Chains A and B, each alone.
Chain A
Amino acid sequence: MSETPLLEFRGVGIDYVTHRGVVPAVRGVDLTVDAGETLGLAGESGCGKSTLALSVLRLLPATAKVSGQVLLDGADVRELNWGQLRAVRWAGASVVFQGAMHALNPVQRISDQIAEPILIHGGRPAGGVSARVSELLDRVGLPKGRSRAYPHELSGGQRQRVMIAMALACEPRLIIADEPTTALDVMVQAQVLDLLAELVAEARVGLMMISHDLSVLARTCQRLAVMYAGRIVEHGPAAQVVRAPVHPYSAALAGAFPTIGDVASRLAPRGLPGDPPDPADLPSGCPFHPRCPKMRDECTEVDVALRVAGPDRDAACVLVDAPGVSR
């Protein structure tokens, strides 16, 4: 692999132009994903994580205005023409959406749906399209007998496997998985996450995984970025961010899913008062300050940019004073 990251966001801002005015959904994000690496992007609804993900393949609606650079293999996707963009979609990078029931065509057999990206984007695979489809079904652990099934005949986990098979169909180098396991049971979730992890390890694809569940991301990702109100508020090695979060928001997310056996959380669910802010009406200063349990006076005025919070770690919080020192 060259020095160029597979995917790089450079100062990316995304505004939605609505009748209420300009709504900043993403406000200056810098992130990279390398080949063979898994980056977790954590955050709640409305924080801009899905908007950011969709910008990679230019899947945003026309009302979205993107600034900064989204570089796929060093090339800015915003400057691609339609032909180049078509070549990138599915084959260069693909997306696994959440809610496979809605993303799949209900009146088409799954084998045909998996074949579609191959026919359109993947050229002619060696053994023919149907052989490739069987290979993919096998890869994601779906019995061959199910290839002629319609989506409604499959369980939720099987449908999500179909989505992953489609995402793999054209051997992309980057996979973006947007809440790939949110609607699934814990056991099926574990199966799907194992499958994704295997793909990263074997095929050296880059994986950007989006979720609001830090325990899922901690299991699967090397690095983790926590997003709040359109910005990255904490970034670092996944295990460290989950185990010893620096930003109070990351701490709240990590505490939301308790460690079973941890006496402190027994009969004591932890949440955050309030709700994520409306992107159209962000609080002054640090946008997290109205919900922050550690708020100081200056937080209502100063919006802190990401600071170094230790080796390979950053956090956007006034509590981060110096490298390695965090509270």
Chain B
Amino acid sequence: MSRIVSDTNRTGRVDDVSQTGKADGVSENSAPATGEELLAARAVSVRYPAGRGVVRAVDGVNLSLRAGEILALVGESGCGKSTLARALLGLQPVNAGQVVFDGRALPSSTRGLRWFRRRAQLILQDPTGALNPRHTVYEAVAEGLRIHRIPGDERELVAKALAHAGLRPPERFMPALPSELSGGQRQRVVIAGALALDPMVLVADEPVASLDASVRGEILALLLGLRGELGLSALVVTHDLGLAWNIADRVAVMYLGRIVEIGDAVDVLTAPRHPYTRALLSVSQAEGERIVLTGEPPDAARIPVGCRFRPRCPVYAAGLPDEVANRCRTTDLPVLGETGVACHAVGAPVQ
């Protein structure tokens, strides 16, 4: 534990995982107090060269995850949400802007990144793909402990991580191979592997999309419980607004490389303001009138001038006052901060 260097400028917090789980009983893992910024993207851009053009996958985005909160990042495939999540984890180099973890720019040194990677864990959609079919549950969970050379009784740490992930009694699951487990249990093993490293942040990319409906709620309840018990923050990347309603404190809606609406989950999900959010919500519900957008989001190498949603926007298509419509066609929208909506027509009189 003494390896872990913590900055002086932080609020001390005794981490209950390390306190109960580790031989020395004391953690030097201090984290910001609940509600303070923990992991943030500041004007982050990620671009890829593609043919003659440049794909602007993430196009200058601010997003901050606070300690102890669950933030849902929602949007369609190709909107840049997974790229943004990877950038936040230091898995994707950024072309502009910076990622800030715990008040400091993401380290670039191997040692610094190793520390960060222990503290920020990624959980992927498909647990079957994430687990080595020939490794037992014990091996899968212990692997991270070995890579990070975590001191303490390995078996005890693995057992505790499994128990936290809801695999009880842990001894029963340790010798099992992934093929002997159900999909929900496999996802719990993946989560246990992350928890073993005593993280501060979980980034979960569609954590329940490949699971059965009845198991889905259990895994979401687990994520919610981890926040409650361990104070873990989580960024959940998903296209499922019901999931956001189930577990998220705040919701950020992404479209074509930008966040177009962000705010408190109840506000965004019950009183959506951006036409895109409204359309997404309408098709996520079993009842009510649907707003089905035609086509698919445009190529991120050819982002429309003005409002990037305009070519598919039902509000624009229905007719707006000339002055507003003109801005939709010509004026790019400002990058959002903590809360807000990026739409020229919001608040504009309807024609």
- What is the interface of chain A, defined by CB distance below 8 A to chain B? 44-45, 155-158, 185-191, 194, 212-215, 218-219, 242, 249, 252-253, 255-261, 265-273, 275-276, 291
Given the complex of chains A and B, what is the CA–CA distance between A264 and B349 in angstroms?
35
B217 adjacent to A219 (CB under 8 Å) = no
A257 to B286, CA, bound (A): 9
Residue of A nearest to B279 (CB): A187
Taken together as a complex, chains A and B put the C-alpha atoms of A261 and B270 apart, in Å, by: 6
Residue in contact with A186 in the complex, picked from B213, B280, B287, CB distance below 8 Å = B280
A23, B191: Cα distance in complex, Å: 32
Query: Roughly how many angstroms separate A261 CA and B279 CA in the complex, as a whole number?
Result: 16
A30–B185 Cα distance when bound, in Å, is 33
> Given A187-B293, A219-B286, A242-B286, are A265 and B245 neighbors across the interface (CB < 8 Å)?
yes
Bound complex: CA of A46 vs CA of B81, how far in Å? 32
Smallest Cβ-Cβ distance to A211: which chain B residue: B213
Contact of B212 among A255, A258, A276 (CB under 8 A): A276
B123 touches A (CB below 8 Å)? no
With a cutoff of 8 Å between Cβ atoms, the chain B residues found around residue A219 in the complex are 286
Which B residues are in CB contact (< 8 Å) with A249? 214
Q: A256-B214, A267-B247, A269-B221 are in contact. List 16 more A-B contacts (CB 8 A).
A: A45-B212, A187-B280, A188-B76, A214-B286, A215-B284, A252-B213, A257-B242, A257-B286, A258-B246, A259-B287, A266-B246, A267-B246, A268-B246, A269-B217, A272-B217, A275-B182
- Nearest CB on B from A227, distance (A): 12
A158 / chain B contacts, CB cutoff of 8 Å: 296
CB distance from A272 to the nearest CB of B (A): 4
Cross-interface CB contact of B213 among A191, A213, A259, cutoff 8 Å = A213
Question: B286 contacts A218, CB within 8 Å?
Answer: yes
Among B213, B241, B292, contact of A44 (Cβ-Cβ < 8 Å):
B213
Question: CB within 8 A of B285: which of A185, A194, A259?
Answer: A259
- The smallest C-beta distance from A325 to any residue of chain B, in angstroms, reads 25
* Complexed CA–CA distance, A155 and B124 (Å): 21
CB pair A156 B214 closer than 8 Å: no
Count: A-B pairs, CB below 8 Å: 122
B321 to chain A, nearest CB (A): 27
In the assembled complex, B183 has its CB within 8 A of some CB on chain A: yes
Inter-subunit contact B239/A186 (CB<8 Å): yes
When A260-B284, A271-B219, A272-B217 are in contact, do A266 and B266 touch as well, CB less than 8 Å?
Answer: yes
Give complex CA distance A252, B216 in Å: 11
A-B contact pairs, 19 of them (CB 8 A): A155-B296, A186-B76, A186-B280, A186-B283, A187-B292, A191-B292, A213-B213, A214-B213, A215-B284, A252-B214, A257-B286, A258-B245, A265-B245, A269-B247, A271-B218, A272-B217, A275-B182, A276-B182, A276-B214
B13 at the interface (CB under 8 A from A): no
B306 sits at the interface (CB 8 A): no
Whether B241 lies near A272 (C-beta < 8 A) is: no
| Set of chain B residues within 8 Å of A212, measured between Cβ atoms | 212-213
* B interface residues, how many (CB within 8 angstroms): 41
Partner of B217, one of A190, A260, A271, A291: A271
Beyond A213-B213, A261-B269, A266-B266, whether A190 also contacts B283 by CB under 8 A is: yes
Q: Are B284 and A273 closer than 8 Å at their CB atoms?
A: no
Judged by a CB distance under 8 angstroms, whether B54 is at the interface is no
Choice from B213, B224, B266, B270 contacting A256 with Cβ under 8 Å: B213
Question: Are A260 and B241 within 8 A (Cβ)?
Answer: yes
B224 contact from A187, A188, A242, A267, Cβ within 8 A: A267
Would you give the 0/1 interface string for B267-298, flagging 1 where the beta carbon is closer than 8 Å to chain A? 00110000000011101111100101110100
Contact present for A186 and B241 (CB under 8 Å) = yes
Taking CB as reference atom, which chain B residue is nearest A217? B286
Q: Does B346 contact A (CB under 8 A)?
A: no
Q: How far does the alpha carbon of A291 sit from the alpha carbon of B184 in the complex, in Å?
A: 14
Chain A residues contacting B92 (CB-CB under 8 Å) are: none
B105 interfacial contact with A, CB 8 Å: no
Complex interface: chain B residues within 8 A of A185 (CB): 76-77, 239
Q: How far is the CB of A248 from chain B (nearest CB, A)?
A: 11
Pick from A186, A187, A253: contact of B214, CB below 8 A.
A253
- The smallest C-beta distance from A48 to any residue of chain B, in angstroms, reads 14
User: Closest residue to B292 on the A side, CB-wise?
Assistant: A190
* A156 to B296 Cα, complex, angstroms: 10
B200 CB → nearest A CB, Å:
21
Query: Which residues of chain B in 200-214 are interfacial with respect to chain A, using CB atoms and an 8 Å cutoff?
Result: 212-214
Give the most central of A255, A257, A265, A268: most B CB within 10 Å.
A257
Residue contact B245 to A253, C-beta cutoff 8 Å: no
Interchain CA distance A50-B296 in the complex, whole Å = 29
Contacts A185-B76, A258-B246, A267-B224: A157 and B217 contacting too (C-beta < 8 A)?
no
Cα distance, A158 to B216, chains bound together (Å) = 27
Give Cα A270–Cα B220 distance, bound, in whole angstroms: 8
Asked if residues B214 and A272 are in contact (CB atoms below 8 Å), the reply is yes
Report the separation of the CA atoms of residues A275 and B286 in the bound assembly, to the nearest whole angstrom.
25
Closest Cβ–Cβ distance, residue A318 to chain B (whole Å): 20
Cα of A29 to Cα of B182 in the assembled complex, Å: 25
Q: Residue of A at shortest CB range from B214?
A: A272
> Quick one: closest A residue to B227, CB to CB?
A267
C-alpha gap A291/B217 in the complex (Å): 14
- Contact flags B235-269 to A (C-beta < 8 A → 1, else 0): 00001111001110000000000000000001001
In the assembled complex, the CB of B288 is this many whole angstroms from the nearest CB of chain A, namely 10
- Chain A: minimal CB distance from B265 (Å): 8
CA A155 – CA B239 in complex, angstroms?
Answer: 16
Q: CB of B14 within 8 A of chain A?
A: no
Interface centre among B213, B216, B242, B292 (most CB of A within 10 A): B213
CB-CB under 8 A from A44, the residues of chain B are 212-215
A260 close to B213 (CB less than 8 A) = no
Q: A220 to B214, alpha carbons, bound, how many Å?
A: 21
Contacts A186-B284, A190-B290, A268-B246 given; indicate if A275 touches B213 (C-beta within 8 A): no
